[in-house]
Amino acid sequence: MSQAPLLEVRNLRIEFPTRRGTLVAVDDVSFSIAPGEVLGVVGESGAGKSLTGAAIFGLLEPPGRIGAGEVKLAGLRIDNLPYEEMRKIRGREIGAIFQDPLTSLNPLYTVGQQLVETITTHLNVSSAQARKRAIDLLASTGIPAPDRRIDHYPHQFSGGMRQRVVIALALAAEPKLLIADEPTTALDVSIQAQIISLLKRLCREHGTAVMLVTHDMGVIAETADRVAVMYAGRVVEIGPVADVIHRPQHPYTIGLMGSIPSFGHEAERLAQIDGAMPRLTAIPSGCAFHPRCTRAFARCSRERPDLLPAGTSQAACWLHDATGGKAAA
């Protein structure tokens, strides 16, 4: 895509100062999202995918902080904005959807009050216009009888319906970027399918770019244009979604794909990656994956690989070093 990227994350580092030293949860992460593009970010618990999303949205919980790098939205740096400035961007320029729809809604206000508040905060409209817009939004997310439902409280909605309200809320001010953190994880499969197709439809209609954070490869496969795979705080592979899924290049991605049970093939055993994701206090030297990697060699434990071209994707793995690592060996 030759368009200027909407979101640019460069060398992002997120750290947590503790008494026993600084823990680095996300390290040297770079990626960009084009207008209207859906970037999937996958990884297992503790890979740093949600933290990356929170950092972009400016909601990193202290003591967590951005240690280095920058986040640019439409060419403007947003990672160092004062709180009040960032508040204006949140909701207006960047929308967010979180995993649990119940905790993202205020239980003491009707969904209408919450929608109207969001709309009048960000757009210059009267409250009557805002209410009409809120009803339209609810209708567009497929909530039946929106003119009646708008005056209901969050607890009166089911899980799937609540997530629809959250989506309506996130898209209320027509943001250019939507950060969706595990938007379907708390939902049943039949509801999950409804929510995914709703997200896809609305984002296509509005031309909204999406950063979709999830651990579910199936959701990524159906939704994303490109996908970034994270492991131990770093992006280990990034590329077009079909390539990453069908021709993974990084040994971790290969293992991850093999470990997912699928209907497509019969397997007596699933591929398994032995060991577990390292703790933040003990990230291995060199490539963080090398102790679990079956193809690791001497260089992997010494030098940390950056993203290297691998097929149509990029993978942070010395196996893809064109020089073959001979210079170092």
Q: What residues make contact with other proteins under the rule CB under 8 A?
A: 44-45, 158, 160-161, 188-194, 196-197, 215-219, 221-223, 242, 245, 255-264, 267-274, 276-277
CA distance 118 to 128: 13
Cβ–Cβ under 8 Å, residues 138 and 127: no
Q: How far is the CB of 236 from other proteins (least distance, A)?
A: 13
Alpha helix stretches (DSSP H) within 224-320: 241-246, 251-258, 298-302
Q: How far is the CB of 193 from other proteins (least distance, A)?
A: 4
Count the neighbouring beta carbons within 10 Å of the beta carbon of residue 275. 10
**Residue (23 or 193) nearer to other proteins, CB:** 193
Q: What's CA 329's distance to the chain center, in Å?
A: 37
CA distance 276 to 17: 24
CA distance 7 to 211: 10
**Residue (38 or 66) nearer to other proteins, CB:** 38
The token duo for 32 is: 């960009």
Q: How far is the CB of 266 from other proteins (least distance, A)?
A: 9
Q: How far is the CB of 291 from other proteins (least distance, A)?
A: 14
Q: How far is the CB of 202 from other proteins (least distance, A)?
A: 15
**Residue (61 or 268) nearer to other proteins, CB:** 268
**Residue (24 or 187) nearer to other proteins, CB:** 187
Count the neighbouring beta carbons within 10 Å of the beta carbon of residue 32. 17
**Residue (9 or 232) nearer to other proteins, CB:** 232
Q: Which residues contact 143 (CB under 8 A, 6 or more apart)?
A: 149, 161, 164, 165, 168
Q: What is the DSSP letter of 90?
A: B
Q: How far is the CB of 245 from other proteins (least distance, A)?
A: 6
Strand partners, 310: 313
Beta-sheet pairing, 38-42 with 209-214: parallel
Strands (E), 34-161: 38-42, 65-73, 76-77, 94-97
**Residue (200 or 302) nearer to other proteins, CB:** 200
**Residue (124 or 272) nearer to other proteins, CB:** 272
CA distances from 257 to 129, 226, 311 (A): 48, 16, 17
Q: How far is the CB of 190 from other proteins (least distance, A)?
A: 5
**Residue (162 or 299) nearer to other proteins, CB:** 162
Q: What is the DSSP letter of 236?
A: E
Q: How far is the CB of 146 from other proteins (least distance, A)?
A: 16
